[in-house]
Amino acid sequence: MFAADATVTRESMPGLPAALEALQAALGNKVVTSHAVREQHANITTYLPNEPADAVVFAQSTQDVQIVVGLCAAHRIPIIPWGTGTSLEGHVNAPQGGICIDLSGMNRILAVHAEDLDCVIEPGVTRKRLNEDLRDQGLFFPIDPGADASLGGMASTRASGTNAVRYGTMKDNVLALKAVLPNGEIITTARRAKKSSAGYDLTRLFVGAEGTLGIITELTLRLQGIPETITAGVCPFASIEDACNAVIATIQSAACGRRGTMPIGRSCPCGRARRRWPPTCACRSRASPNASWRPSATSSRWD
């Protein structure tokens, strides 16, 4: 997020020393300028070069974020939000310098409303930690991008995963959020009410904005009940068309609420050789033990 405009460079930030001094006065040891810490908060997961910020601020609250954003706006300094650094696209690099705000310390689960199937969390809470906390209540958060990413980062990048067919992506599972705008103001985009048509849909505007519109400091998420059984299988078909028709029939049938399918393809690497496989679908079923499903004629090979 840029506090002013995208033409800012290190050479055009004469206010950086003054901003760092003000940040250290306001936040004390939450502001770190050591080279090792700054490198750790730049891109370290891909071929992209490491481009660290000029300082890292370990925020502990929305007020901390608001202080940093306000000072950076006043001195025209770029801001780079940081979750857990699992992104593969170089989001956390600071090619023009600036201040990195580490939100991993904002990791509290503020409320769980089991009866309403939602929860309120801070952005530093990771996906695995939230599900561990919810397990005893028979609930879970279904979006799984693979890495144990922070939920604030998942919302900012509109993460999805292998459960997207059944549960949607982050845009479908964020009910509301609180964010600090580039001018330092705090905005709450919506409430917990499931039905509301009043005003702009600011929640979906922020989900996927990658920190360019504001820094998310609180999220309200939709939860799901943990399935009683989870099974998986691999289903071969005579042709790609048959495999596609089976996936379409599964999604359109009553099973679409419980099952998800994903085409794999024709070949699979096995050691040094590549073994030829028939058109194949990997299937994962989430259901109760008493659930039943009758395949249609187009998917008879599932029998």
pLDDT (average), residues 243-261:
67
Q: At 155, which amino acid appears?
A: A
Residue 204 counted as domain residue: yes
Q: Which residue has the tokens 């940081």?
A: 82
CB hemisphere CA count around 247 (13 angstroms): 23
Could you say which of 102, 131, 157 is where a domain stops? 102
Residue 81 counted as domain residue: yes
How many domains are contained in the chain?
A: 3
3 or 174: which leads in pLDDT: 174
What average pLDDT does the structure give for the chain?
84
Full domain range(s) for residue 82: 10-102
CA dist., res. 99 & res. 215, Å (int): 13
Q: Which residue has the tokens 């699992």?
A: 86
pTM for the whole thing? 0.80
What does the pLDDT read at residue 30? 97
- Assess whether 233 and 261 both reside in one domain: yes
- Assess whether 151 and 213 both reside in one domain: yes
**Bridge partner residues of 225 (DSSP):** 139
- Assess whether 216 and 143 both reside in one domain: yes
How many angstroms from the chain centroid is the CA of residue 203?
A: 14
* Helix axis angle, 62-75 to 16-27, nearest 10°: 160
- Assess whether 149 and 196 both reside in one domain: yes
30-72 per-position pLDDT tens digit? 999 999 999 999 987 778 889 999 999 999 999 999 999 999 9
DSSP calls for 158-194: T---TTHHHH--HHHHEEEEEEE-TTS-EEE---S-S
CA dist., res. 258 & res. 290, Å (int): 12
- Assess whether 15 and 98 both reside in one domain: yes
- Assess whether 249 and 298 both reside in one domain: yes
- Assess whether 147 and 211 both reside in one domain: yes
- Assess whether 116 and 194 both reside in one domain: yes
- Assess whether 146 and 174 both reside in one domain: yes
Could you say which of 102, 126, 146 is where a domain stops? 102
Residue 146 counted as domain residue: yes
Residue 3 counted as domain residue: no
What does the block give as tokens for 54?
A: 């000029």
Could you say which of 168, 201, 225 is where a domain stops? 225
Question: Which range (7-21, 150-164, 248-262, 266-280) has the least confidence?
Answer: 266-280
What does the pLDDT read at residue 88? 82
Q: Specify the CATH number for the domain of residue 207.
A: 3.30.465.10
Residue 1 counted as domain residue: no
How big is the chain, counted in residues?
303
- Assess whether 91 and 124 both reside in one domain: no
How many angstroms from the chain centroid is the CA of residue 212?
A: 15
